[in-house]
Structure 1
Amino acid sequence: MAAYTILVRRIPLLLLFYFSLAEDFNPLDYLRREHTLTKPYQGSGLSVPLWDFVGNTLVTNSHIRLTSDHQSIKGAIWNNVPCIVRNWELHVNFKVHGSGKTLFGDGFAIWYTKDRMQMGNVFGNSDQFVGLAIFLDTYSNHNGPHNHQHPYISAMVNNGSLAYDHDDDGTHTQLAGCEAQFRNKNYDTHVAVRYHNTELKVSMDIDNKNEWKECFTVKGVLLPVGYYFGVSAATGELADNHDIISVKFYELDTDDTNDTPPYTGLPEAKYMEEPRDRVDENKGSYLLGNLSGIKLFFVIILIIIGVCVCGVVGFVVFQKRQENSRKRFY
């Protein structure tokens, strides 16, 4: 009788727990804790269980700050357990914010790569990586004309032979992309990366509607198992706070058979966007657009000096012509 009474009392708690899970998780998928990062972050000391951080990363009670709103810094956090799941979905709850109103950058990236903890110049990670990268590019003073505005979300698959081109904002190596105004929001912002049967789908929840909006879908993407998840960020001449609130990894509950062995070759994408035409940075009005700070100041000074010199020379030539014209009448 006592056991029955205890069970009855616990039923409301069990129901509450069940419904709370139903709100956060798709019941058809399975949350894998070994690839998940949620609050509270810290274990013993400054360690984060199952995750390693590098660079300027700062762990707080409410978020993990990859970079603060300061120039020329990098930070990253990497899961230290390789992923052996074929079909998965990764949800990243993030916040990008800073004091810049019209100028800010650079952005952050979500990685699924063969190597980890290798800092570099591609949003804080190394170039010519092997794996998948999802770039959330906020660099407002972007290089060259493109047919999109920033912030911008795009995907790149690399077998180690491709280099990310900062001058083109990666548009010559991207699979697909979309505009996403996720910066300086006063509510939670999320991005979801779903990989299922060689199809890569990226969605976002940045409008405070608690629903996913598709960014892009790419078919024919081959990703091997055994790679690592990570998130990195970087600032340059422009800066922002890049905060990660949570990373949740779901193994998809699908009807796929596992008779075939998992793919173990190099990452491959069968379809990519056509390279976009762009104006040479060294021509036209984009020259000034690509300069900033002291460089732009000196360019403006040189232009003013040049205009003044041309004006003086023109005035002297005009005076000489006037004098020669008067001499003809004497």
Structure 2
Amino acid sequence: MEGLFKFLNIFVLVFLIARDLVNSTNVQKRFEYKYSFKPPYLAQKDGSVPFWEYGGNAIASSENVRLAPSLRSQKGAIWTKNPLNFNEWEVDIAFRISGRGRIGADGMAFWYTQAKGSYDGDVFGSSDQWVGLGIFFDSFDNDNKHNNPYIYAVVNDGNKKFEHHSDGTTQQLAGCLRDFRNKPFPTRARIEFHNNILTLLFHNGMTNNEQDYEMCFRVENVFLPKSGYFGLSAATGGLADDHDVIHFLTSSFGASSSVPGQPVLTDDQQRLQQEYLEYQKKLEQQKEEYRKDHPNEKEPDLEDWFESDNQRELRQIFQGQNQIYEVMKELNRKLDEVVGKQERTIGLITQQTGAVGSNIPPAQGQSSPPAQASGFVDTIRRHEVDAMFNNQNQMVNSIRELRQFILEAKQRIDTVINNQAKAPTAQVQAVGYDTQSIINEVRDGINHVKSNVAQVASQLGQGYKCPQISCVSLTTILFVVVLQLAIILGYNLYRDSKDSQSKKFY
């Protein structure tokens, strides 16, 4: 019974989808070039866009319209010159919002309002307290809730001020969290207003498929003013992005006349209708002539040539079921592949664990595991896998520490080799070597002075003698010598300590 209920649910769902598709074909859709722009030759030589007007910091080129450049405190907008002469519409917008920063600001807005907005307003570059619809592509998080970039719709009757500090959280009809900044392909938004239902489909710009849309929001019972204006605007703040619109394509539903049920026929349409009536008369005449020439032939039943509405619905239902069956078969095949990969992985882990565990003797007080039954192999357990992973992690950490130690030793050896290359004649001396050499030098100097004094005395005469009264006593000389030796010794000790400290860094 449960399978039957599932089948019935799928059948009803496919039937409703098929019915919607059949009904949607009855809606006439017409492209409105006076409310659209697209490249190439988007802007004329004088910089104007046909049927549109722009201002503020907006710039129009042959390929796109840059509403706001990536500079601080820039605002710009573009609006249709004439109001709409239809009430239900669909708009396809292709745009790029890109910048160097990780966070962008402030964003872009789509407008359908009763009157044109300004070109340097407070709400994404347009006027506040508008009458109509505004759909905002907000790229800056003003309320610090980490929910941006965000797309949302706000309907205003002209009496409400937009709550920019809270990103319009309490005023929006619906919204969705979508990232539309810095995408490889242009992002797109398809906005549809039909039967008082507002729908927005979004293309994230990650693929080049123009039909890769996803639902952002759908709101019923939305009432908008008649004969409004289309507009686009953008603004930057302390942060800045380039806000480029590549195309803006508008289509209307039903007749373009403002009064339903009274379509206006042009001269071409009247001429084509007259030709159609003439061909109908000629066809009837040819049928009468054929019946006269072939009186015995029966007229074919034209109903057998064409399928009825019920047959078409059944055919569409069966086609939908076949597609569902193909998708489920593909999912089943992928599931089998995943299960097969899991089984192979478990088998490899089991083999490795058996090879490692066969060389480990059982602990004292424990007996070896019993032999398994023929044809049955025990699989690896969770705690064994955890133990194996822990051992591998410990081995990896030990290898990393050993590698770090080897690198440090290598760096020290390289430093010693470089120092020896800079001073190849340097030799390691004992701590007291410098002090002993200095004492020897002082002693040699005193001996040299004594020899010089003896030579001078011999030249002055054999009877020359030193004066009895000495200006400097022997004690003073010894004190000065000892003081110099102490200073030299202290300096050498200080220098050796500095050298030993500097060697610790190698």
1:173 aligns with 171
Deviation at 1:123, TM superposition (A): 0.2
Aligned pair in 2 of structure 1 residues 28, 205: CA closer, same or farther (>3 Å)? farther
Letter in 2 for 1:167: H
1:55 aligns with 56
Deviation at 1:186, TM superposition (A): 1.4
Larger Rg: 2
CA contact (8 A) 2:48 2:60 kept: no
Q: Map 1:17-36 onto structure 2 (within 5 A).
A: 28-36=28-36
Letter in 2 for 1:52: E
2:76 aligns with 75
Question: 1:113, 1:204 → 2: CA distance?
Answer: 22
Percent identity, aligned pairs only, is 37
1:201 aligns with 199
Question: 1:203, 1:107 → 2: CA distance?
Answer: 18
1:130 aligns with 131
Letter in 1 for 2:69: S
Letter in 1 for 2:53: D
CA contact (8 A) 1:193 1:202 kept: yes
Aligned pair in 2 of structure 1 residues 97, 205: CA closer, same or farther (>3 Å)? same
Deviation at 1:247, TM superposition (A): 0.2
Q: Map 1:112-191 onto structure 2 (within 5 A).
A: 112-118=112-118, 119-139=120-140, 141-145=141-145, 149-191=147-189
Letter in 1 for 2:239: L
Question: 1:259, 1:47 → 2: CA distance?
Answer: 36
CA contact (8 A) 1:110 1:134 kept: yes
Deviation at 1:117, TM superposition (A): 4.1
CA contact (8 A) 2:114 2:225 kept: no
1:258 paired to 2:260:
yes
1:218 paired to 2:219:
yes
1:66 paired to 2:64:
no
Question: 1:28, 1:114 → 2: CA distance?
Answer: 25
Question: 2:84, 2:45 → 1: CA distance?
Answer: 24
1:108 aligns with 108
1:93 paired to 2:90:
no
Deviation at 1:188, TM superposition (A): 1.8
CA contact (8 A) 1:144 1:167 kept: no
Deviation at 1:142, TM superposition (A): 2.7
TM-score, normalised relative to structure 1: 0.66
Question: 2:131, 2:117 → 1: CA distance?
Answer: 13
Deviations 1:190-237 (A, max 9, x none): 001100011000111114243221100001111122110000000011
Deviations 1:48-98 (A, max 9, x none): 110100100111222111111111110111111211212110111100001
Deviations 1:97-132 (A, max 9, x none): 01112x211000000011214131100001111110
Question: 1:44, 1:237 → 2: CA distance?
Answer: 33
Task: From the two aligned structures, give the one with the greater helix fraction.
Answer: 2
SS in 1 for 2:165: helix
Q: Structure 1 stretches of 5 or more lacking a match?
A: 1-26, 261-330
SS in 2 for 1:85: coil
Question: 2:114, 2:176 → 1: CA distance?
Answer: 26
Question: 1:161, 1:235 → 2: CA distance?
Answer: 25
Question: 2:131, 2:96 → 1: CA distance?
Answer: 27
Question: 1:180, 1:31 → 2: CA distance?
Answer: 28
Deviation at 1:238, TM superposition (A): 1.2
1:237 aligns with 238
Question: 2:45, 2:224 → 1: CA distance?
Answer: 34
CA contact (8 A) 2:38 2:64 kept: no
Question: 2:98, 2:112 → 1: CA distance?
Answer: 25
CA contact (8 A) 1:38 1:245 kept: yes
Question: 1:218, 1:239 → 2: CA distance?
Answer: 31
Question: 1:120, 1:114 → 2: CA distance?
Answer: 16
Question: 2:117, 2:158 → 1: CA distance?
Answer: 16
Question: 2:104, 2:187 → 1: CA distance?
Answer: 18
Deviation at 1:28, TM superposition (A): 5.0
Deviation at 1:44, TM superposition (A): 4.8
Aligned pair in 2 of structure 1 residues 226, 28: CA closer, same or farther (>3 Å)? closer
SS in 1 for 2:110: strand
Deviation at 1:144, TM superposition (A): 3.7
CA contact (8 A) 1:54 1:117 kept: no
CA contact (8 A) 1:69 1:99 kept: no
Q: Map 1:249-288 onto structure 2 (within 5 A).
A: 249-253=250-254, 258=260
SS in 2 for 1:109: strand
Question: 2:62, 2:44 → 1: CA distance?
Answer: 12
SS in 2 for 1:34: helix
